[in-house]
Amino acid sequence: MSKINNLTNYIKEAKIELEKVIFPTKTEVKQSFISVTVMVTVIALFLSLIDLIMNGILKVVL
């Protein structure tokens, strides 16, 4: 019986904690998505440029 009480108590506490969570709004999610997409694109372009430069240097050296 104690295990059932523990489980019930756990579920009640989980519900209470879930009510404290502040979920982002649709606008916040959209802004975050755009920010992450832009940053990933910029970093990918930067790393591609570095790769091209290093590739060119290695072709000249070797």
Tokens 């590739």 correspond to what residue?
Answer: 55
Tokens 């802004």 correspond to what residue?
Answer: 31
Q: Which amino acid is at 11?
A: I
Residue 2's pLDDT is 87
Distances (CA, A) of 7 to 4, 11, 14, 16: 5, 6, 10, 14
Residue 3's pLDDT is 87
Tens digit of pLDDT at every position of the chain (62 positions): 688 999 999 999 999 999 999 999 999 999 999 999 999 999 999 999 999 999 999 999 98
Residue 62's pLDDT is 86
Residue 18's pLDDT is 96
Domain ranges of the chain: 24-62
Q: What does the chain come to in residues? A: 62
